[in-house]
Structure 1
Amino acid sequence: MIDPDWTLWRSFLAVLQTGSLSQAARRLALTQPTLGRHISLLEEALGAVLFTRSNDGLRPTGAALTLQPQAETMAAAADLLTRIASGEAEQAEGRVRLTTSEFMGVAVLPPILATFRTLYPKIDIDLVMSDRNLDLLRGDADLAVRNVAPAQDALLVRKIGEAPVRLFAHQSYAGRHDLPGSLPALQDHALIGREEYARRVPAFAGLSLRFGFASESDIALLAALRAGMGIGACQQGVADTDPSLIPVLPAVTIVQLPIWMAMHEDRRRLRRLRLLFDHLAESLKAYLAG
């Protein structure tokens, strides 16, 4: 097997992502016959069929899907090389793709990112909110703010600290109900949250808790808390910015939620990524410090 040229891999990735020769050819500014020849050459070099024809275009084979993550990693590395060679690496402008959880993206990061945009107005931010950890090595995102430690190698990882999560109630709920003075008294209240999570909290062991509002979305849980639907858990730093939220059993910490940051080691050569990484790290430290 010969070593296929990068041009062939680039054509392969374009067809894989668009699902058709014509769309991939337009993306790469090539003719359709040229692109088809690239795929044939790559299949010949690898000794494998990569695509099959169907009514809705080209479908990747199992071999193609197996090669996809590595091809995307190659594309990200080639893109980075081009940007470094063009001098873009030291410019404080361009786009940064940041991924984080839904809760962090809505409740924590907006004021931090607003300050960054004031400092560096030529750096654009593409925020991807997902509780699924995107693959930084594959180039799905440039930076990540996560609540679990990244496990991949070749990542620059920093633990920022831990966010205490405690119980709160909106002042409207407190006006209608006497707030509990002990953990067992929580059993007399409608709670906001997820029962399967509550089972993992040592402080709740042995209690029979009733959840009047549950959701898979942490943002929906926060909205319910602010609407006065019951007692719920919230990061201390978020609650501190909302005077309408009243602490409930403030001596009880539900969990210490770690906050991690990560980016690909090679990406730190890009100044705009270093600037955002450092800004997020310092701002999140301040957030955790109250």
Structure 2
Amino acid sequence: MTEPSWDHYRAALAVIEEGSLSGAARALGLTQPTLGRQVAALERALGTVLFTRSPAGLAPTEAALTLAPYARSLKATAEALRRAVVAEAEGLSGRVRITASEVVGAEVLPPILAELHGRHPGLALDVVLSDRMQDLLRRDADIALRMAPPTQEALVARRVGTVTLGLYGHRRYLGRRGVPEVPADLARHSVIGFEAETPFLRAMMRMTPALGEAPFAWRSDNTLAQLAALRAGFGLGVCHTALAARNPELIRVLPDIVWELPTFVVMHEDLRALRRCRMVFDALAEGMAAYCRYDGREESA
């Protein structure tokens, strides 16, 4: 059997995602007949039907749904390959894709990346903010900042320090509601927390049972929303000690409550040969190491 072209897989994936030949053709910048021929060629090569007609358009068969995640992986790899080749050819005017948690990406990285971009203005940076761990093996990103050690052998990781978290309240809130003296006092306070239970949240509850017993008055799985609520004086919430140090209105409470997150800069080992990736990797490692050096344990109400 002749191996199908990547173009044919790309065509089928576009139909799955767009739901019609016309929509897929527009998404790929092709004519509808050309895209139709590519899908038909893939069906012949695989010996199976990938789509059936429905009132809503083209419905993917079980074979197409099985194919889809592999085609998405091919797409991600192709895009990463294109970025790598183009960027390396352009030297320091290439593009690097970085992923980080919401808080780190929005609050910590901008000054680090601004300084890097100031030195190399031709360097373009894509920053993906997500508390979901991106897959570097699939090349969802080039470089990741992670609060857990990577487990895949093909990844290069550098531990840059530990991000320390504590419990904080805005000065305005504490003036209204008072300062908790012992963990049991959290039951009478407005606590900012998560809606969905996550491994991190379960670990926090194990370390601080009183936090789990206090009903969350503000619930959001978006950590930037939690930070905004803390800054607005809604209640008590968890915050990076280094980040809270930038705002004198945020006061540390119950300073014996401490959570620590080991922090790593990670990239695929194949990217070490690319100068722009090494440069961004080193800049992130240096900047995050400086950020991690502040643990803020002397801060308290």
Aligned partners of 1:157 and 1:67: how far apart in 2? 32
Equivalent residue runs for 1:1-290 within 5 Å: 1-26=1-26, 30-81=30-81, 88-89=88-89, 91-152=91-152, 154-194=154-194, 197=201, 200-204=205-209, 208-253=213-258, 255-290=259-294
Q: Give the C-alpha shift of residue 208 in structure 1.
A: 4.4
Q: Give the C-alpha shift of residue 8 in structure 1.
A: 2.8
Aligned partners of 1:97 and 1:82: how far apart in 2? 12
Q: 1:240 to 1:68 in 2, by over 3 A?
A: same
* Mapped contact 1:90–1:272 kept (Cα < 8 A): no
Unaligned runs of 5+ in 1: none
Aligned partners of 1:105 and 1:216: how far apart in 2? 16
- Which secondary structure does the structure 2 equivalent of 1:49 belong to? coil
Q: 1:209 to 1:278 in 2, by over 3 A?
A: same
- Which secondary structure does the structure 1 equivalent of 2:45 belong to? helix
Aligned partners of 2:85 and 2:277: how far apart in 1? 17
Q: Give the C-alpha shift of residue 231 in structure 1.
A: 2.2
Q: Give the C-alpha shift of residue 287 in structure 1.
A: 0.5
Aligned partners of 1:82 and 1:207: how far apart in 2? 47
Unaligned runs of 5+ in 2: 295-301
Deviates more, 1:213-222 or 1:258-267: 258-267
- Which secondary structure does the structure 1 equivalent of 2:63 belong to? helix
- Count of residue pairs brought into register by the alignment: 289
Q: Give the C-alpha shift of residue 117 in structure 1.
A: 2.2
TM-score, length basis structure 1:
0.83
**Percentage identity across aligned positions?**
48
- Which secondary structure does the structure 1 equivalent of 2:205 belong to? coil
* Mapped contact 2:77–2:138 kept (Cα < 8 A): no
* Mapped contact 2:161–2:293 kept (Cα < 8 A): no
Deviations 1:189-208 (A, max 9, x none): 33222486377232335984
> Match for residue 297 of structure 2?
none
* Mapped contact 2:186–2:211 kept (Cα < 8 A): no
